[in-house]
Every structure is written in C-alpha cells, then in structure tokens.
Structure 1
C-alpha cells in the first residue's frame, strides 16, 4: 500500500509495453531487423525505465511507513520529474536535491517546473556537495534538514531498481538477439541484462555521459541486486556526443532523419544516442545477417 492507502497498481501502467517492427533500408542492407520496445508508452507520467526503477522503491518506502521520498538529479533530470509525479499520484511528499546553484537555475526549466508543479520541494546544492551525495554524512545532513524520508539514489538506480528492470529483459525473451538501451546511471542495463534469456541474448548499453565509469557501476548494481555479474552485456562508450544533454550536428541530423523516416522523434538525451550507436554498429558489420535488434525507447 502507498502513503495514501492505494495499491501501486493505481498507477495502471501499460505492461508489457508494445514491441514495434521498424523497416529501415539502412539496416535491411545488412540483413538486420529493428524492433522498438516502446517503454515510453507504459505510463504518461512515469514512462519506461522510470516506472520500472521506481516501482519496487515506492513499495519499499510504503512498506516501511515512509510518507516522504528524497532523491537527486541534475536540472534536466527525467528521474526528478517522474518521482514528483509518483508522489502526486500516490500521496508521497517529494524532495528533489538538484545539482547546481539555484540562482543559475532561475527561471526553472520545463523539467524542474513540472516537478515543482507536482509538489516536489527543490533543494539546490553546490556541485562539490552533490558529488558526495551518497556519503553517509551527507545523507544524514539531508535527513536532519528534511526529516524522516526514504532516500532514492540519483536516477533511481539501486538494487531494487535493477530488480524492477529485470522484468524488461524477461518481456524481451525470444523476441530479439541483441537488446540496446541508453544508459545514465546503469540501473536499467543491470536489470535488463539479468532478465534476458541466458546463452541466447545479449545487451548493449550506450552511455550518454563521458567518463568510462559506467561498467563498474553496472557490475556493482548487479552484485547488490543479484549476487554477482549476470547476463551477457557490454558497453559502447563512443556515442555520448559530448556528454549528458549535449548534442552534435551529426546527432541532430540522425535524429531528424529518423523522425522523417519513422514518425518518431527520439529523445536526444538518451534514445537518439542509442539508436545512432546501433546504426553505426550495423554499418561496421557488428551484427550478422538475420540479427534481430530490439531498441528500448525509455522515454
């Protein structure tokens, strides 16, 4: 039960999400088929991996008697917006710890405006403090400031999030040979890979941030959630296009072309980078003829 006494199913997610075949001549010439896993259609306020990563955390918060959620994100965080929406729908008070100076973020962008409209209290912290957000003394200071609360990590990525995302992998068993997903904090990939069929499917994660740190993060999440590394997964670090929320002329051209061909404008922060990576890998001969690719549209 939630803080309001309603079951989490009150959110009424659309599961499993649709799997849609896409005909594209650029892939067809390599004998490769593309399927879009439309996880963005799960719920209007908690699309895709946001629902999957938050679901078990929301249940754990409610089971422990919490009525307040505290979490972290940058100024353009989809996770903050989704957590705020969950709070509005389920009766939780929500607090968003935002990276960066408050004055520099005024007026609020569309993401933070939506989170605030859904009742989220925004607390801005400097970047040095934000980098230490997982340290016990920083968490304790936040609890002293805001009171008793259930803490959800940045991006929602923890063991419960990975366990929630394993269902995504199970939904794709038998549907594709290779499954691709864009990665921010790694929780979706950690769970997705664990849920895929062993010995017959593999996952590719496309980090949207620079730094080369994500492999270790995904492995830690799998160790916490499943007891060790599991599933066949790799990362391709080449398609961040400058880093989080950044773009390049090449990515812009690819995104516009994909939208013209298929009537779907992929999100530039995450999905477009992943799709660009898949099409590049196909051109490089990374997939044998007959390969079925499933690309997760996370929203």
Structure 2
C-alpha cells in the first residue's frame, strides 16, 4: 500500500471526444483518485498539512464532523489508522446510532479503520461552527486536534499548491479547472494557487451553497477573482442524484473507463456536459476536470 507520506504525481488523462474536436477545445481529467488507495484525491491534500500540524502540537487524536456519506470521514479514519492515531467522527443523524443496518459503506469503512462515532441530532450538529460549543468539545478532549467539517481550513487550502504545480507542469497553458465542492476548501486552494488568468469552476454538491462564497473568498484572498461557484448542479441535494446524472455517469465511465464517485465527481461531469451542450466553451480552451476520489462510496 502506498504510504500517505509519499508524494506522487498523478496522471493527467486526455479525454478524446469528437464533440471537443468540433468546438476546438482540449479536455483532461486530473486523476487524483489514484494518489492513495484509501485517502484519495482532495482529501489527502486537505489532510496532509493538518496532520503535520497535529504532530507538531503533540496531538495523536483527531476529531472531526461529517454526514453518513462524507469522504472526509473515511479519509480521516484511514489517515489516523495508518499513523496509529485514534479518531472520533461526530456524525450528523442521531437516527443512525442504534441502526447499524442503515450505515453507509463509508461509515462502515471508517469504523474498520478504528474511528469511533458520536451521532448528533441535526440541531446539535448545526453548532459545529459555534466557538463556545467547540471550546466545550475541546475541553472534553483536551489532547485532540479538531478538524472542521470537510477538513477545510487554512492548512487544507495550502495543501493544494502541489496540485497546481503538478498541473502547470503537465499541461502548460491550461485555462479552466473544474472541481466538485462540499465545504469549499478544495475550490479555495486550487484558485489561490492558480494564476489570475486561469479560472477554477466549483460545482456545488449540496443545495443552497451560496453561503460558502464569503468563506471561500476569505481563504483565497480578496484580491483574487479567478473562481466561480455554480450552485445549480446539486441534483437534489447532498448525496442525492437524478436520472440524468446517473445516465451521464454511465456514459462517461463507459467511454473513458474512469470510475466516478456519486457524491461529487459525478455531478462535476454532469455540470461539464451540460455546459458543453449549452455551447459554453470556446475554441482554444484547455479544460481540466479534477477527480477528487471518494470511490469508497461508489456503491453506497
């Protein structure tokens, strides 16, 4: 198994399609689903510097937040397991506490990697951004490192500098980068380290995601405006889908032999195809679709 300490350059796979040739665009997929078998894609980049920070502080227990289908929960559990650390997941949905049959494959995998769960009702879960509640949580676990939902913070954002450096070496002059968005940290990191003339497009996987924009801009910095957040491709909400998304996913997987996760990358591909059909792109654009992993949940 690849060590999470090992940095590898993941492939940039050219996608060949007659539709692209007709318009005069080039399209690639950045295969960060291949950067680690368990801590895939953007989750490794978001965790890497946070893990380093926890180690510097002498903390070997991580506590974090997520829903039943959270790739971040699975990745955090795996990262702690590999380091011999302990992990606790505060999970949205107290109805799951005594209903193991309803657990997602993502939760089951996290449990196999040693994560302990506390299932919170939705009202309590909403307190995850309230400092007084977080302070009380830290008092309960004084030796733990608290990671926000999705792992998104300034350390997570900084982890994407290496992704952009790889892309610049693999595809000189790329113009557009599409990434899926949950909490906004990946979009912020990619946009922060991309050049001002490169546009990073975020595809929100949850409903009503406009509230993320101020935090994303804060992470990037007020002077940089090279990003967009598209909120109309959520497919019904987080961890939900529709027949069109499922059709486009099957077509993409069949044509390019690349497996997509249903929570994030499938919606990204649907959004890209919709924009393509709407003649959104122009000749000369070099477009990268970012595969953020999450394949442990592809059969949930």
TM-score using structure 2 length: 0.90
Bigger mean CA offset, 247-256 vs 174-183: 174-183
Q: Give the Å deviation of 1:263.
A: 1.3
Counterpart position of 1:6: none
Q: Residue 229 of structure 1: CA displacement?
A: 4.6
In the TM superposition, residue 45 of structure 1 has moved relative to its aligned partner by 1.1
Residue in structure 2 matched with residue 4 of structure 1 by the alignment:
none
Give the Å deviation of 1:214: 2.2
How many angstroms apart in 2 are the aligned matches of 1:14 and 1:160? 17
Asked if residue 40 in structure 1 is aligned to residue 30 in structure 2, the reply is no
State yes or no: 1:162 paired with 2:160: no
Deviation of 1:55 (Å): 0.4
Are the counterparts in 1 of residues 161 and 189 from structure 2 also a CA contact under 8 Å? yes
TM-fit CA distance, 1:42: 0.5
Query: Which stretch shifts more, 111-120 or 140-149?
Result: 140-149
Q: CA RMSD in A?
A: 1.7
Structure 2 unaligned spans of 5+: 294-300
Per-residue CA distance 1:251-288 (angstroms, 9 max, x = gap): 11111111121112311210111111112212222211
Could you tell me which residue of structure 2 aligns to residue 116 of structure 1? 111
Distance in structure 2 (CA, Å) of the matches to 1:258 and 1:10:
30
Picking from 195, 198, 201, the partner of 1:197 is 195
Q: 2:138 aligns with which of 131, 140, 143?
A: 143
Q: What is the rounded CA distance, in whole Å, between the counterparts of 1:44 and 1:13 in structure 2?
A: 12
**Could you say what secondary structure the match of 2:250 adopts?**
helix
Match 2:203 to one of 196, 203, 206: 206
Matched residues in 2 for 1:25 and 1:251: separation?
21
Name which of structure 1's ranges 265-274 and 156-165 shifts more when overlaid on structure 2. Answer: 265-274
Q: Is the 2:175–2:285 contact (alpha carbons within 8 Å) kept by the matching residues of 1?
A: yes
Say yes or no: does 1:294 pair with 2:283: no
- Aligned partners of 2:161, 2:238: CA distance in 1, in Å? 25
CA distance in 2, matches of 1:298, 1:242: 20
Q: How many residues align?
A: 286
Shift in alpha-carbon separation, 1:109–1:268, aligned structure 2, 3 A: closer
1:289 counterpart SS class: coil
> Which of 175, 179, 182 is equivalent to 2:180?
182
Cα contact 1:17–1:41 (8 A) shared by 2: yes
Gaps of 5+ in 1: 1-8
Q: Is the partner of 2:128 in helix, strand or coil?
A: coil
**8 A Cα contact 2:138 2:146, kept in partner:** no
Aligned partner (choices 210, 214, 217) of residue 215 of structure 2: 217
What is the aligned partner in structure 1 of residue 76 from structure 2? 83
**CA–CA separation in structure 1 for the residues paired with 2:41 and 2:173:** 18
Superposed displacement of residue 109, structure 1 = 2.0
CA distance in 2, matches of 1:249, 1:129: 33
The alignment's TM-score, normalised by the length of structure 1, stands at: 0.91
What is the CA-CA distance between 1:25 and the residue it aligns to? 2.3
For residues 34 and 173 of structure 2, the distance between their equivalents in structure 1, rounded to whole angstroms, comes to 18
Aligned to 2:232, the other structure's residue is in SS state helix
By how many angstroms is 1:104 displaced?
A: 6.4
Matched, 1:131 2:123: no
- Relative to structure 1, the CA distance from residue 217 to residue 104 in structure 2 (aligned partners, 3 Å threshold; closer, same or farther) is farther
Moved more, 209-218 or 97-106: 97-106
Alpha-carbon shift at residue 296 of structure 1 (Å): 0.3
